[in-house]
Amino acid sequence: MLVLSRKVGDAIMLGTDIEIKILEIHGAEIKLGIDAPKSVTILRKEICDDIKKQNKNAAKVFVPKDLKNILKPIKEKKKSE
């Protein structure tokens, strides 16, 4: 992890086209400005974590044994035809 000290008005660059600028500092809270191409998705980490959790839970809906039980009647029907 790279750790930097910055003051209000200072900025850092990610690559050549993403700039993160320190806009304000009030106590333990800072306000950042992010200038990036529209093709770059920018999300707060807690939102990303929530999306990952939702995706993981959605993937649990059909586990392989459930899928086997769903396909079993289809296989039996084909055998009888």
pLDDT of residue 63: 59
pLDDT of residue 71: 72
pLDDT of residue 59: 76
Residue 23 to residue 32: CA distance in whole angstroms: 5
pLDDT of residue 42: 94
Residue 23 to residue 56: CA distance in whole angstroms: 36
Which letter, b or e, does each residue of 49-74 get, where b requires 16 or more Cβ atoms within 10 Å of its Cβ? eeeeeeeeeeeeeeeeeeeeeeeeee
pLDDT tens series, the chain, 81 aa: 999 999 999 999 999 999 999 999 999 999 999 999 999 999 999 999 999 999 888 877 665 666 667 777 766 666 666
Domain residue limits, the chain? 1-37, 43-81
